[in-house]
Structure 1
Amino acid sequence: MAECIANIAALKGAAMEPFMTRRMEQLLISGRDLEQRRFQASDRAEDLEPMLEAATVLAVAAVGGIVAMQGSISVGVLAACALLAGRVVAPMARLSAAAQRAVALGTEADVAFEPPGERAIRAETAPGELRVDAEIAGGSARLRFEAPAGAMVAFAGRDGARLSAVLRTLCGLDLPREGEVRFAGVAMSEYRAAHPGAVTYVSPQSELVTGTIFENLTMFGHGGSRESAFEACDLLGLRPEIDRLPRKLDTMVGDGDADGLSASLAHRIAVARAIALAPRVLLLDEPQSLLDVAADRAMVAGLAALKGRMTVIMATSRPSYLDLADQAYALDGDTMIAMTPPRRARSAGAA
């Protein structure tokens, strides 16, 4: 629970709340059943303790009586043995109860760390058109545009907070002040709730969840498959960098980056995690943030390879990213202006 709250931005961006809720429900149910069995075993042990104590005393008295009649021990020794026999049973019963509790705790740990079940909900594969006529949350900028399935749309502007508000409104995290954002004929917020993982948002501050790199890429089994995670890594040129780490995909992250993970690598892992979900709509807020030159080139090449596979919406002012866009818009205050990507502008000027 604490881990989910600490990484709520990453979970909400990937629409993983339903999976984490189901996971928590499974753990609570398993914990309840284990606790119930532990209490039942403890009750049985408490019920058996007096019976076992009485049976032990009787057995010692019977055997000791025979031995005393044969003259091997005195009556005083027999009485002492009977008294000590009763004292021995209680510690043994407590040891048995402690052993049962240890077994129960071990079982609870096994349940907590067992691999989660296969993801039950998948996004639809039919194409979907994005239709936007809405006023963004937290501002008065009006957005009006349509994007076919697989299109790449870019928003540029000097106000980073305003651009973030645009993306959060488009992905359904924030409701528009007025109007609506629709995808595949459905309000985006409703579509996102009905199809977890189909609409994924990656912010510049997206955090990695405490776990290994591989667990982050697959969201602990609730996200993309192993194959899609590897494909996303290859797409963004991550595999060589990950392979250079001492523990490779088993490198622990999200706990203060104890293994010295660079900000550039951590950011691209967050983007790869989103791509591995194979969403129908991928929203990237400043995808170039925190990247060095080589990583930036790999990111541009990876996004270019995504064209036509999913709808990609970016907030960026970097020309190399704007060149990828099928549609580009500049946000000047509250005004949305259609713009020509730099590459096309250069081509038109040359002609």
Structure 2
Amino acid sequence: MDAEAGSFAKDIENIPSAATPSIVLASLISNLMATGLPIAILIIYDRVLPNASEYTLGLLTAGVLAALAIDVIIRIARGAIVSHRAARYSHRAFLGVMEKVFAADPRSFQAESTAVHLERLGAIDAIRESRAGYLPQLLVDFPFFVLFVALVFLIGGPLGFVLLAFVGFTAIAAIVSGLSVRSRMEARQANNSAQSNFLTEVLSGISTIKSYAMEPLMKRRYERVMESSATITANLIQGSISAQALTNLVTQAAQISIVAAGSLAVINGGMTIGGIAACMLLTGRALQPLNRASMLWSQYQSVRIAKQRIRELAAMPTIASGGGIVRDSLHGAIEFRDVTFSYSNGRTVFENLSLAVEPAETVLISTRGNWGGRSTLLALAGHILLPDRGTVLYDNVEAEAFDDEWLRSRIAYLGPNPALFEGTIFDNITGFDPSPEHIAEVEDVAEELGLTEAVSKLPMGFQTEVRAGAGDTLPASIRQQIPIVRALARLPDIVLMDECNSNLDRDADDRLRAALARRQTSTTILLVTPRPSFQALAHREITIGSDEVADGAGDDAPAVEVHAELRVVGAGGAAQ
């Protein structure tokens, strides 16, 4: 893990701690108030009852009740402070994680399933309980354990050793229980991941499952997943119940042992009855943080797994953003210089690719036979994918030198599978940007592409809700127009058209072609399209073959071998 990833993981794991001065002070007062009851019991048994002092009894009772009330108030206040800090932590942590997600290299991010990413995001809740929840409170309370043990030694003398013996037994039991729980938690995490993957697949592909009558098969798969989940959950619950029962047994055994040993001391004249009662109460109080620590130690095993998930998230490759070059616009020149690109499955798409596109040039990207790579070429040109080696330049400047967010704002990628978001059509075409200037541009482009006319026929117009799955009632043409309008409204300097018009009706298709034609004098356009009407816009054609990339159309186009140096050659055979 590099230094930046390590710093990100540490920030998520460690902000903020609940052991603040206010929490420490509240814990100090609360624990001091807790000593009031045992001391009062000691005085009542040893002083008040033998002397029949009703006045002293009243004062002691009032004092103890006041101490208990203060203790309750302080605990409530401390809980409110911790809850507030936990909420702040969640807010900051989720914002930090989403920044990491938005900056992630799409190739690495998409190599893992949605369920894996959701599991990593869910790890924040476990870490919140660790760093901003009740664990810090326990750590603050734990030192006062020494105070209660010291009071037992002060009042009961050797009874303190009885208490320490049970403390040691509790610590050993907690360690053994925690190690057992850890292996079970790891098994549950793996099972949860499998269950989430299955549910994601089913919910996203429910129409396909129904159309192929695959419901019985999917039910059998889910039964197997849930059978394993039920077994693991049962083991965890059984372990938790056993640990809780053991904790209660130790507490009761400790108090009984204190009473028994104290009774022997009373018989021998070495202790009073009040001392026994006080030591018994102090023993219960001393074991409380230890018992909570025992339970939290088991829970901490899940926190360790959550931290590992955060480290995995932190280790994801990112695209550098911020601090780079920002201009008013790009001229639109694109150059691939010795670019090599492979997907995560090891398939090499381009090797040592070198080609150039001039500003305001319209280039058609085609392939020979069944060879692919057109969409990958556009994604590299759009800074959506990053090359393994080599570099992509814009206006003779390396892409890495630009501010990443600004650079992507100057490039419009029009893909075949447009992404729409929950909200209205208006929200989607504006990209949730409410600025008046942007809305004006959106309205102009929507009118130009005919979306305004098409949407006006809907009952709710631009306020029509965009939904996913079976709830989607938008015509396919409108669904494909929405992201096109959203992209072109940003007035991009480079347009990458990747078969984005497959579902457009005739009028919308003609309007899109006319819109691209109007932009040819000022915008660089790369086209991937089978439609002759759009192909006719191209000034030049780049053809991708199994071993070559060539300028020109058809099998007679001149080409060079790609594995030596992949480059575009002109119609006359000279390298460009």
Asked if Structure 1 and Structure 2 have the same fold, meaning a TM-score greater than 0.5 normalized by the shorter chain, the answer is: yes
CA gap of 1:238–1:85, structure 2 versus 1, over 3 A, is farther
Structure ranking higher in strand proportion: 1
Q: Is 1:272 aligned with 2:485? A: yes
Give the AA of the match of 2:329.
T
Following the alignment from structure 2 to structure 1, what is the Cα–Cα distance between the partners of residues 455 and 366?
Answer: 32
Q: How much has 1:89 moved relative to structure 2?
A: 2.2
The secondary structure found in structure 2 opposite 1:100 is: helix
2:417 is the counterpart of 1:205:
yes
Specify the alignment match of 1:127 in structure 2. 331
2:78 is paired with a residue whose SS is helix
On the 8 A contact 1:228/1:277 being kept in 2, the answer is: yes
Contact 2:466 2:474 survives alignment (8 Å): no
List gaps (5 residues or longer) in structure 1.
1-20, 56-72, 341-351
Q: Deviations over 1:217-247 (max 9, x none)?
A: 5656699944444444444333455664759
Q: 2:74 aligns with which of 67, 71, 93?
A: 93
Using a 3 Å threshold, how does the CA distance of structure 1 residues 152 and 294 change in structure 2: closer, same or farther? same
What letter corresponds to residue 316 of structure 1 in structure 2?
A: T
SS in structure 1 at match of 2:527: strand
The whole-number CA distance in structure 2 between the counterparts of 1:93 and 1:180 is: 61
- 8 Å CA contact 2:421–2:466 kept in 1: the answer is no
- Partner residue, 1:42: 23
Note closer, same or farther for the CA distance 1:167–1:53 as it changes in structure 2 (3 Å cut).
same
CA distance in 1, matches of 2:416, 2:473: 19
Match of 1:336 among 550, 559, 576: 550
> For residue 152 of structure 1, what is the aligned residue in structure 2?
362
- For the residue of structure 2 that corresponds to 1:161, the secondary structure is coil
**Percent identity, aligned pairs only?**
20
Q: 2:333 touches 2:357 (CA, 8 Å); kept in 1? A: yes
Residue 263 to residue 53, structure 1, CA distance change in 2 (3 Å): farther
Q: Give the TM-score normalised by the residue count of structure 2.
A: 0.40
Please tell me the root mean square deviation across aligned C-alpha atoms, in Å. 5.1
Q: Where in structure 2 are the equivalents of 1:202-241 lying within 5 Å?
A: 202-208=414-420, 217=429, 225-239=438-452
Question: Which structure is richer in relative contact order (CA contacts within 8 A, separation 6 or more)?
Answer: 1
- Within 5 Å, give how 1:239-258 maps onto structure 2: 239=452, 244=458, 246=460, 248=462, 251=465
Give the equivalent residue in structure 1 for 2:503: 290
Q: Quote the Cα distance in structure 1 between the aligned partners of 2:23 and 2:461.
A: 43
Deviates more, 1:83-92 or 1:179-188: 179-188
Distance 2:489 2:452 in 1: 14
Letter in 1 for 2:552: A
Which residue of 1 is the match for residue 122 of structure 2? none
1:247 and 1:107 map into 2 onto residues whose CA distance is 39
Secondary structure of 1:196's counterpart equals: helix
In structure 1, distance between residues paired with 2:459 and 2:90: 29
Larger Rg: 2
Q: 1:167 aligns with which of 369, 374, 378?
A: 378
Between 282-291 and 76-85, the greater mean CA deviation after superposition: 76-85
Structure 2, gaps ≥5 residues long: 37-53, 100-321, 342-347, 555-576
Q: Give the count of matched residue pairs.
A: 294
User: Which residue does 1:315 correspond to in 2?
Assistant: 528
Instruction: Name the CA shift for 1:44/1:205 in 2 (closer, same or farther; >3 Å).
Output: farther
- Could you give the per-residue CA deviations for residues 264-286 of structure 1, whole angstroms, max 9, x where no partner exists? 44443333333344332221211
How far does the alpha carbon of each residue in 1:325-346 deviate from its partner, in whole angstroms, 9 at most, with x for none? 3334555664535259xxxxxx
Distance across 2 between alignment mates of 1:232 and 1:29: 43
Instruction: Please tell me the residue identity of whatever aligns with 2:550.
Output: M
In the TM superposition, residue 200 of structure 1 has moved relative to its aligned partner by 4.2
